[in-house]
Amino acid sequence: MFIFDAMNRNLKLLIGPFLAFTVGYLLFRSGEALILCKTAGLLILMAYWWVTETVNIYITSLLPVILFPLLGVMGIESVAPQYMKDVMFLYIGGFVLTFAIERWDLHKRISLKIILKAGTSPSKLLFGFSFATYFISMWLNNTSTTLLMLPVALAIVSQLHGGDAEKRSGMATAILLA
């Protein structure tokens, strides 16, 4: 049995801050800057809580937003933007869009339309999928287009029948790369 599983949760809650304080104190005694000592202590606290899962991982990840300003390490105006970069919203939006498409089976409808319009021959199917991806990427950025077309590609690949396994595998690879 893993040692952390057997420990009492309250004990694990106390060990984290104790380790953080001890590391910070030892660094301070060795002559390091106070800000470095506070940051290292918080790092140890977060690492311990992540490993032991004493506190929810999502809550632990937000500790710098709360504790850096309280400890005087950084201001909130410096810490908060690190949690909300533009690229993060791009990916979050893409994932939400993809989940919505899968939830309402729109990916199956799109893949069926591609198969009906392009045909079932491998070259026509690959052209149809590539054209659909090209058409969507005229209005969405590449990341969102990829996230949008991934369930469509998987739906098309799941419908591949006939032929030997090597040809199906090659076609699946071509579709996923298109």
Q: What is the pLDDT of residues 82-122, one digit of tens each?
A: 888 877 777 777 778 878 887 888 878 888 888 888 887 88
Q: What pLDDT shows up at residue 166?
A: 73
CA–CA separation, 130 vs 116, rounded Å? 15
Residues 55, 126, single domain; the answer is no
Residues 101, 165, single domain; the answer is yes
Residues 25, 101, single domain; the answer is no
Q: What's the whole-number average pLDDT of the chain? A: 84
For residue 7, pLDDT beyond 70: no
Residues 127, 67, single domain; the answer is no
Q: What pLDDT shows up at residue 21?
A: 96
Could you list the residue range(s) of the whole structural domain that residue 14 is in?
A: 3-78
Residues 95, 15, single domain; the answer is no
For residue 3, pLDDT beyond 70: no
Of the candidates 67, 49, 71, the one whose C-alpha atom is nearest the C-alpha of residue 58 is 49
Give the pLDDT mean for 56-66. Answer: 90
Residues 72, 102, single domain; the answer is no
Residues 172, 110, single domain; the answer is yes
Total domains in the chain come to 2
> pTM higher than 0.85 for the full model?
no
Q: What pLDDT shows up at residue 142?
A: 83
Residues 44, 90, single domain; the answer is no
Residues 34, 112, single domain; the answer is no
For residue 1, pLDDT beyond 50: no
Residues 98/151, Cβ–Cβ less than 8 Å: yes
